[in-house]
């Protein structure tokens, strides 16, 4: 590889010339790999949240009209159901 003056580059200059693009490529690939590895966790959490929402809707009862929400006990029962206990 030659520079603008038609002189061959030394080994140190070659490393300096190629270090940034190589490191940028490695960091880009690692970011993509980390993003891909997050997909299964996101899918699992989304399904768990949908299960909790469905269970909370099923467990609402008319006796709890005085409360703003369904109560902590019903939430804990919904969590136990969605975790398979």
| Domain map (residue ranges) of the chain | 11-83
Q: Tens of pLDDT along the chain (85 residues)?
A: 544 567 787 888 888 888 999 999 999 999 999 999 999 999 999 999 999 888 888 777 665 555 555 567 778 888 888 888 7
Q: What is the pLDDT at residue 78?
A: 84
CA distances from 64 to 46, 58, 59, 60, 73 (A): 27, 13, 10, 8, 12
CA distances from 84 to 33, 48, 73, 76 (A): 31, 11, 17, 12
The CA distance from 80 to 74, in Å, is: 10
Q: What is the pLDDT at residue 44?
A: 95
Mapping DSSP to helix (H, G, I), strand (E, B) and coil, where does residue 8 land? Answer: strand
């Amino acid at each position: 590889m030659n520079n603008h003056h038609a002189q061959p580059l030394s080994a140190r200059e070659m490393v300096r010339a190629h270090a940034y693009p190589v490191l940028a490529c490695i960091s880009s690939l690692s970011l993509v790999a980390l993003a891909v590895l997050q997909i299964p966790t996101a899918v699992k959490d989304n399904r768990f949240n949908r299960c909790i929402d469905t269970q909370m809707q099923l467990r609402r009862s008319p006796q709890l009209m005085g409360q703003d929400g369904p109560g902590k006990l019903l939430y804990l029962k919904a969590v136990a159901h969605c975790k398979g206990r």
